[in-house]
Amino acid sequence: MVGFASEFQRLGLSTPLLVGGATTSKAHTAVKVAPRYDGPVVWVKDASRSVPVAAALLSDEQRPALVADVRADYEAIRARHAAKAGDRPLISLSAARANATAVDWAAYAPVRPHLLLEQARDVSAAAGGSVGAGEATRFTKVFRDYPVAELRGYIDWQPFFAAWELKGRFPDLLNNPASGEAARKLYADAQTMLDRIEAEHWLRPAAVIGLFPANSVGDDIEVYAAEDRSEVRLVLHHLRQQGAHRDGVPNRSNADFVAPRSSGCRDYLGAFAVTAGVELPERVAAFKAALDDFSAILLESLADRLAEAFAERMHERVRREFWGYDPDERLGNEELIAEAYRGIRPAPGYPACPDHTEKALLWELLDVEGATGMRLTESMAMWPGASVSGWYFAAPHAQYFVVGRVGRDQVQEYAARKGWSLAEAERWLSPNLGYDPE
């Protein structure tokens, strides 16, 4: 988005630029996007709210007031952001690493994934127990046409109603005096469509998971080609928090959640990619061609929920079955939504690992396209949109965090680790830069 605004400026355009959608924010638009373009830049929460904004921008009478109000609002946001940024200065990368998550790796005993252990037993038995025969050779597992009936029980309905602008906590909002009737009708329509999705196989959810031998080296994570760890298959790159923290609070990196190679601890890392189904775009297009926009939007919003439910269900099965580090876990859906379990599944492009390009390594590691049909666009967005991907960390101390702003010293080193130029690193990490690039 920042690059797009910069191109508008370079070409001398004056066309209004609208920014919106789930991964955007007014603050990011005000601080990072708008300063790159002299023309109007307006953030809208979602597509449904863009209509009145676009109408105002097209009106000679309404446009001046809207643009002036937006620019004044963004100036205030930038001032608050600058003041806030000053409250938490950045520390050097070396100081941040010195304040990494403290872990007694000598006392840590990683669980060897059951997916690998059971496989190794079979190989060992077939080979008569010969040395080296007990090593796994397959690190991934593919799921195709996963039962929608099973996933329905894992749906978090709160974001579904929020997407339809119906406020309140589910299921209480179904009885809200102001919006209950509309919420109940929408919920009934959703259940009816889910019934058809399930019965008529509109969508065929697909997933691939992988559990791999891995160790950290600095802020990178080495993923090995085999359990003997003699060959590095690929290296994953992570960023570290550089904001000054109060005493006792570490500057975290996802690499802190995998045992260092120097510790001698044989640790593991998981990866996953799930989709509600590559059939989604065609089905949505058919509804739109039939001028049934309501069904098209409803199907897309339900597919989003099914993809998230699939990610939740696969993570549960990984914890209990395929990795098996918590085989006795028994949690209800509300507890799962509240993340009351051990382990995390951060996604590339999100706060703990904001570099979207790491998805390309995930795709390579799991052969995601071959396994599921999911693809990555040039800007590293997942296709179809109702898809989720990320990493599995099992360490008890693993937790979600926000990388936040990073300094030039880290960006320069990160660029070297990735084989990038500094300009390329700054482009991909632009929302996280704690400085103005040259």
Buried b (16+ CB within 10 A) or exposed e, 402-413: ebbbbbbbbbee
pLDDT at site 202: 97
pLDDT at site 56: 86
pLDDT band, residue 23 (cuts 50/70/90)? low
Task: Classify residue 250: in a domain, yes or no.
Answer: no
Task: Classify residue 117: in a domain, yes or no.
Answer: no
Higher pLDDT, 296 or 127: 296
Residue 276, pLDDT > 50, answer: yes
pLDDT at site 52: 81
- DSSP annotation string for 124-165: HHHTTT-TTTTS----EEEE-S--HHHHGGG--HHHHHHHTT
Let me know: does 21 contact 46? Beta carbons within 8 Å: yes
Task: Classify residue 323: in a domain, yes or no.
Answer: no
Amino acid identity, position 186: L
Cα–Cα distance measured from residue 257 to residue 359, given in angstroms and rounded to the nearest whole number: 19
pLDDT at site 256: 98
Task: Classify residue 252: in a domain, yes or no.
Answer: no
pLDDT at site 99: 97
Let me know: does 212 contact 227? Beta carbons within 8 Å: no
Percentage of the chain modeled with pLDDT above 70: 94
CATH number of 40's domain: 3.40.50.280
Q: Which domain holds residue 82?
A: 2-87
pLDDT winner (highest mean) among 32-36, 123-127, 158-162, 422-426: 422-426
Task: Classify residue 214: in a domain, yes or no.
Answer: no
pLDDT band, residue 128 (cuts 50/70/90)? very low
Q: What is the pTM of this model?
A: 0.85
Lowest mean pLDDT among 12-21, 311-320, 332-341, 396-405: 12-21
Task: Classify residue 41: in a domain, yes or no.
Answer: yes
Residue 125, pLDDT > 60, answer: no
Cα–Cα distance measured from residue 415 to residue 124, given in angstroms and rounded to the nearest whole number: 43
pLDDT at site 366: 98
CA 197 to chain centre: 25
Residue 131, pLDDT > 80, answer: no
Task: Classify residue 127: in a domain, yes or no.
Answer: no
- Written as six digits, the tokens of 35 are 């300063």
pLDDT digit string, tens, across residues 47-56: 667 778 888 8
Percentage of the chain modeled with pLDDT above 90: 71
Task: Classify residue 42: in a domain, yes or no.
Answer: yes
Cα–Cα distance measured from residue 225 to residue 232, given in angstroms and rounded to the nearest whole number: 6
Cα–Cα distance measured from residue 392 to residue 224, given in angstroms and rounded to the nearest whole number: 16
pLDDT digit string, tens, across residues 83-111: 665 556 999 999 999 999 999 999 999 99
Burial of 67 (0-12, 13-18, 19+ CB in 10 A): middle
Count how many domains the chain has. Answer: 1
pLDDT digit string, tens, across residues 189-243: 999 999 999 999 999 999 999 999 999 999 999 999 999 999 999 999 999 999 9
- State the chain's mean pLDDT as an integer: 91
Residues 6 or more apart whose CB falls under 8 angstroms from that of 227 comprise: 116, 120, 135, 136, 213, 266
Q: Of 56, 69, 65, 61, which is closest to residue 16 (Cα–Cα)? A: 56
